[in-house]
Structure 1
Amino acid sequence: MSRDFKISRRGFMGGTAGATLIALHPFSARAAGAQAHLRIMETTDLHVHVYPYDYYSDKPIDTVGLSRTASIIEEIRAEATNSMLVDNGDFLQGNPMGDYMAYERGMKEGDMHPVITAMNTVGFDASTLGNHEFNYGLDFLMKSLAGAEFPVVCANVVSEMGGSPRDDKTLLKPYVILDREVTDGNGETHVVKVGLIGFVPPQIMTWDRRHLEGNVEARDIVTTAEAWVPQMREEGADLIIALSHSGIGSAQREDGMENASVPLAEVDGIDALMTGHSHLVFPSPTYADFVGLDAEAGTIHGKPAVMGGFWGSHLGVIDLLLEKDGNEWRVLSAETEARPISKRNEDRSVTALVEDVPAVLASVEAEHQATLEYVRRAVGETAAPLHSYFALVADDPSVQIVSNAQLWYIEQMMQGTEYEGLPIISAAAPFKAGGRGGPEYYTDVPVGPVAIKNVADLYLYPNTVRAVKVTGAEVKGWLERSAGMFNQITPGEPDQVLLNPDFPSYNFDVIDGVTYKIDLSKPSMFDSDGAEVSEGGRIVDLMFEGAPVTDDMEFIVATNNYRAGGGGSFPGANPENIIFEGPDTNRDVIVRYIVDKGTIDPKADANWTFASMEGTTVLFDTGPAATAYADAVEGVTIEPAGDGPDGFARFRITL
């Protein structure tokens, strides 16, 4: 099919043509001579969401999609005399279209990746890499980037390490300086040299160790910026924009920070920051209490910054009023915002605020249809519903099937090895459990056929299977780390909030093969970063085959490469303890397991529960569709408790 689809071309676009009903931004309308308004727009964490479509539930949705975000881009370009568009990484992986390209169709030399095709169609000026760009390996990444009609930069991923960052041979160009013509308030044109430099969390070396070890290394973000930004100035950059695929976190600088955008903003010479990685929105009240930020004005250490949500949910916008002083340009004033493509109504429904750009849909229509065929293939049957509505508060069928499949696989892999005969247990966490994904962000597979789309729904990420050898003490520590999911509860008081909103569901590992209880009256042993902050712990009655687990016992834990490589900072889960690295993804193992069994019946076995507390109730929020399953949850007493915020439903547990 033809790929000759283009919407408003990239670059600094005039704001009045074809947009007579759209008012210019005040910076454009009021700019004086030698002053120019530059609008910089950001997408981030697209994760292959081009179509407004949920491939897991196999239906259109209004909350995602570059095809929707593109319409805002056209409108916002028209509001500004001069504009440019950047992407902040995590575009290659994250939904079944990404997996279809990686595992089914593949990328040969000269092939076009659909998300790159869509980005070319929209007209990006530049992009950086996100951590998920490395999930499918370096060869797949480089073949995908070859089709980009825009530069992709990344300063801290190094193929040959030098004595300092400026001596490195980087995997991609560390930065690019784009010459752009801008129109000032008098209608005169000037050339502005815009420098764009990109960064990715150095944790990629842990998360994708199998692809990266021995091939590249990753430097600290801030150290790298301190080296390259002065060189960009030396080369004539008038303005430097950091494309920081790194979240907004602590203001305290530490080496190797994952979420380094706050200390990054302190680097002299950086004028503005585009951020991402955290799947959040900035400016927003979410960051009201963070040190170094103005969450209302959208600044970090006084510099304009933005984070444009995820999956195309928002477009980040930074408006800069530039003034020419001699031969140099400086930022006179700035404004930031994140514009959404949809809104959630009081009745939990979603209203689309924009429509699709047809050219963007058309550019990847063939791959969209191929992805639908890919995800609709049946691989077996389930005799029990697979849902994750209660995965954070009770043993759960959607986690059970993952654990069962991992256990089945690792038991085979250990046969004939020195580890044969050691007890094997399995750790798995719920990935789709509401939270930032919203009240529809849950797994829900009814009784009947199980298709590939259902397996992708059960296991979102293209992780590969690992096994680690741990002690009984480390098993307990592993579970203590997971128990950080819960707030400390006061015995005898009603309706306390159960879940810690800052604890990600993918770090709530349930370990099958042992039984245990969680005593919520005790504080968490670990803080959000995995540092031990209290003694004693919450895990009680930890048993294996009916006998207490002792500290010196040995176990094999079936898990994934992210966890085994140290992701989440779990006791015992580290590269030194890895005894098996599987070539197969966890998803593929689940598919094989279902095919092998024909019909699965992964009913939760309630191997973990909360310790009882007389006279105590707790509240938690989940998807409204959970009501249909509440009576069947094993190990806890659950009842409806009204409406929660933002479209969620509230439930009560009696401890």
Structure 2
Amino acid sequence: MNSQKTAFVTLLFTSDIHGHVYPTDYRGPGERNLGLAKLSTLIRKERLSDPSLLLLDNGDLIQGTPFMYHYAKYGGKGTHPAARALNHLRYDAAVVGNHEFDYGLDLLRRTVRDSAFPWLSANIVNGEDGKPAFGKPYLIRETDEGIRIAVLGLTTHYIPNWEHPDNIRGLAFEDALESARRWIAHIREAERPDAVVVCYHGGFERDLATGEPAEPLTGENQGYAMCLQLEGIDVLLTGHQHRLLAGELNGVTIAQPGSAGQAIAKVRLEFGRNAGAGWSLRGKSAELLAVDGTVEADPEMLALFADDERNTQQWLDQPIGAAEGDMSIPDSFKARLADHAFTEFVNRVQMEATGADISCTAIFTDEARGFGERITMRDIVSNYIYPNTLKVLRLTGRDIKAALEKSACYFMLQGEGRHIRICPAYLAPKPQHYNYDMWEGIEYELDISKPEGERVVKLLRGGVPLEPDQPYEVVMNSYRAGGGGNFDMFRGKPVVREIPTDMTEIMADYILARKTIRATCDHNWKVVY
């Protein structure tokens, strides 16, 4: 009989890898401190001290880099790269994230079939029978010492508010908090685990220190409520928000390892043997292991994907056209303060593709640099990083004004000099530059010196004020058209037209057809303060 009195279980946990295998961001040369190839080095090191550790991924794995886009859109053959990578690293389980649906159910299900581990999501169920759509809702892992660890997978149920209906057809998304409550009770009773770990592709809706709402309480993120309301949960591993977190909330050990493979979370569970039989959880800790300049990429991982990476890089460097005039974005903040040639270009492409007279778009990240004189596919996917399609909504003038007021909340004035700044809500818990839209087809001004809700001081079309009740056709990306970013004024509005083609393809085809595009800027809008 094993008389050992103390035992430890190690959990390693990744989340929001977003397709980063190689240590690159694909925007330019040079190695970055990110990606699964570098995480592999940390995982190997941890396995030396604990060969039986539990390795988990928390979703948003198969989308987010040109590497994954190229595979999905250009007929990638063989085992999906995401499954190949996690198989090689011997992952024990993965959770379905919201971006797993971006390329459609067929590709997601093929990825699941290619995986040598289960994909968990207890609250994504089949619409017909209510059973978990991806097979297993949870995983039970028993150590050599007889310690039983339960891992429950959950996904933010807010997905139908963003995703194209075709990509989630036949699925139902149960409330993650209530699903967790039901499944944890079942697991505790039926499986008798020594510890329950919840892997939730969602984040924290409230400030962890004060409990104050950190965002509109839509149900997109329920991590705070899970820690306070659920009985029988020992560890909550989170994601979706791209935050770097490790600690404890209401006795629940929590962790979130950022995004793109910049870190991996390590949770250590200590168990003591009971006087009679079995084990009791005696201690818990969480930390983040960061990928920095001292971490070398694993040569085996690099070799495993060398052909895929080479093909991707060659595709990215294909010249597709040229720009005449300045379409570069040297300062993304300034480009959001007044009409800019690059955003005008994107809006005009959207208008031409759909026939709509009004359009809105965003500069998605601060890393977007617009176009130089020579345009390649790398330029397209570096600026337009999401696989959005286009929708034309029928909106009233009142809806448009409300959307502009929502976007105006992106800015604030600070200090005695009343300097204009980005509102902190758009910077934490993660940057949300993609939730500030810039419009074409209307003339408007936003005055940030005025209170929120009163900042639209000019709103015209063709020099004439927009009528509050008059209908207008407006094109936007599919995420925004579903109300993404808390643009509630768009939810449920009539969809006039829909273009199912990925916007990056639309932009590339537009440039290929013209060979040379010309920078234009009609200065139809500006921010004042």
Do these two structures clear the TM 0.5 threshold for a shared fold by scoring above it?
Answer: yes
Correspondence for 2:423: 500
Matched, 1:261 2:216: no
Alignment partner of 2:369 out of 423, 428, 443: 443
Q: Secondary structure at the match of 1:584?
A: coil
Say if 1:442 and 1:576 are closer, same or farther in 2 by CA, change over 3 A: closer
Distance in 1 separating the partners of 2:162 and 2:15: 20
Assess if the C-alpha contact under 8 Å between 2:82 and 2:111 holds in 1: no
Q: Secondary structure at the match of 1:45?
A: coil
Q: Secondary structure at the match of 2:445?
A: strand
Correspondence for 1:382: 323
Say if 1:213 and 1:575 are closer, same or farther in 2 by CA, change over 3 A: farther
1:92-124 CA deviation, whole Å, 9 max, x = no partner?
Answer: 0001111111110245xxx21112211111221
Structure 2: which 5+ runs fail to align? 427-431
Distance in 1 separating the partners of 2:473 and 2:118: 45
Correspondence for 2:283: 333
Q: Secondary structure at the match of 1:54?
A: coil
Distance in 2 separating the partners of 1:216 and 1:197: 19
Say if 1:450 and 1:85 are closer, same or farther in 2 by CA, change over 3 A: same
Computing the radius of gyration from Cα coordinates, the structure with the larger value is: 1
Assess if the C-alpha contact under 8 Å between 1:566 and 1:573 holds in 2: yes
Assess if the C-alpha contact under 8 Å between 1:379 and 1:594 holds in 2: yes
Alignment partner of 2:86 out of 86, 98, 119: 119
Cα distance, 1:497 vs. partner?
5.0
Distance in 2 separating the partners of 1:425 and 1:161: 40
1:357 aligned partner, one-letter code: D
Matched, 1:574 2:491: yes
Assess if the C-alpha contact under 8 Å between 1:239 and 1:329 holds in 2: no
Matched, 1:62 2:62: no
Correspondence for 1:128: 95
Correspondence for 1:596: 513
Say if 1:510 and 1:244 are closer, same or farther in 2 by CA, change over 3 A: same
Q: Secondary structure at the match of 1:610?
A: strand
Matched, 1:466 2:391: yes
1:225 aligned partner, one-letter code: A
Matched, 1:40 2:11: yes
1:171-230 CA deviation, whole Å, 9 max, x = no partner?
Answer: 33111112222xxxxxxxx12222111111112112113234541010111100111112
Q: Secondary structure at the match of 1:511?
A: strand
Correspondence for 1:479: 404
Assess if the C-alpha contact under 8 Å between 2:19 and 2:65 holds in 1: yes
Say if 1:395 and 1:353 are closer, same or farther in 2 by CA, change over 3 A: farther
Say if 1:64 and 1:213 are closer, same or farther in 2 by CA, change over 3 A: closer
Distance in 2 separating the partners of 1:81 and 1:172: 27
For 1:245-644, list aligned pairs within 5 A.
Answer: 245-250=201-206, 257-265=219-227, 266-283=229-246, 298-325=247-274, 326-342=276-292, 352-383=293-324, 384-387=326-329, 389=332, 390-411=334-355, 424-433=357-366, 441-447=367-373, 449-488=374-413, 493-494=416-417, 496-503=419-426, 504-525=432-453, 537-612=454-529
Assess if the C-alpha contact under 8 Å between 1:35 and 1:321 holds in 2: yes
Cα distance, 1:145 vs. partner?
1.6
Assess if the C-alpha contact under 8 Å between 1:117 and 1:364 holds in 2: no
Say if 1:508 and 1:34 are closer, same or farther in 2 by CA, change over 3 A: same
Structure 1: which 5+ runs fail to align? 1-31, 182-189, 284-297, 343-351, 415-423, 434-440, 526-536, 613-655
1:286-340 CA deviation, whole Å, 9 max, x = no partner?
Answer: xxxxxxxxxxxx0122111111111000111111111232444332111111121
Assess if the C-alpha contact under 8 Å between 2:391 and 2:476 holds in 1: yes
Assess if the C-alpha contact under 8 Å between 2:339 and 2:521 holds in 1: yes
Q: Secondary structure at the match of 1:41?
A: strand
Assess if the C-alpha contact under 8 Å between 1:50 and 1:66 holds in 2: yes
Say if 1:263 and 1:235 are closer, same or farther in 2 by CA, change over 3 A: same
Correspondence for 1:201: 156
Correspondence for 2:20: 49
Q: Which region of structure 1 is more displaced relative to structure 2, 268-277 or 547-556?
A: 547-556
TM-score, with length taken from structure 2: 0.91
Q: Secondary structure at the match of 1:555?
A: strand
Cα distance, 1:405 vs. partner?
0.6
Correspondence for 1:645: none
Distance in 1 separating the partners of 2:270 and 2:515: 63
1:544 aligned partner, one-letter code: R
Distance in 2 separating the partners of 1:216 and 1:364: 33
TM-score, with length taken from structure 1: 0.74
Q: Secondary structure at the match of 1:53?
A: coil
Distance in 1 separating the partners of 2:398 and 2:418: 33
1:566-591 CA deviation, whole Å, 9 max, x = no partner?
Answer: 21232542233211121211111111
Say if 1:81 and 1:596 are closer, same or farther in 2 by CA, change over 3 A: closer
Distance in 2 separating the partners of 1:255 and 1:431: 23
Assess if the C-alpha contact under 8 Å between 1:321 and 1:332 holds in 2: yes
Q: Secondary structure at the match of 2:363?
A: coil
Distance in 2 separating the partners of 1:75 and 1:169: 35
Correspondence for 1:287: none
1:116-167 CA deviation, whole Å, 9 max, x = no partner?
Answer: 21111122111111110010111110101212112211111111366xxxx6
Distance in 1 separating the partners of 2:527 and 2:212: 36
2:19 aligned partner, one-letter code: V
Cα distance, 1:554 vs. partner?
2.2
Q: Secondary structure at the match of 1:335?
A: strand
Distance in 2 separating the partners of 1:572 and 1:595: 36
Correspondence for 1:222: 177
